[in-house]
Amino acid sequence: MVSSIVFLGEFGGPEVIFVIIIILLLFGGKKIPELMRGLGSGVKEFKNAAKEDTPAQKKPASTDPIAPTSPLTPPPAPQDEEKA
């Protein structure tokens, strides 16, 4: 979590108040509740969609047995050419 907000640096109380004041000036007092309501319903829809079972998830796993593979043989050991 910390690494995702590192770029913000020291983001404390005065900065939060400044951002809130800018939002109030841009949108006004009447528009902010509508924006938050829309944001909340969007998050709710997203969570509901994430919980729904999609048809791909409902398919059972295939019952075909997987053919066993032969074990891998290790590569031959390198031979020293300086054995004389």
Q: Which domains does the chain have, with CATH numbers?
A: 1-53 (1.20.5)
- Lookup: tokens for 23: 């939002």
Dist. CA 13–CA 1, nearest whole Å: 19
Most confident stretch, 12-16, 55-59, 62-66: 12-16
pLDDT at 13: 86
Tell the burial category of 76 from Cβ atoms under 10 Å away from its Cβ (0-12, 13-18, 19+): exposed
- The alpha carbon dihedral of 28, 29, 30, 35 has a sign of positive
Q: pLDDT per residue over 26-56, tens digit each?
A: 888 888 888 889 999 999 999 999 888 665 5
Q: What is the mean pLDDT of the chain?
A: 77
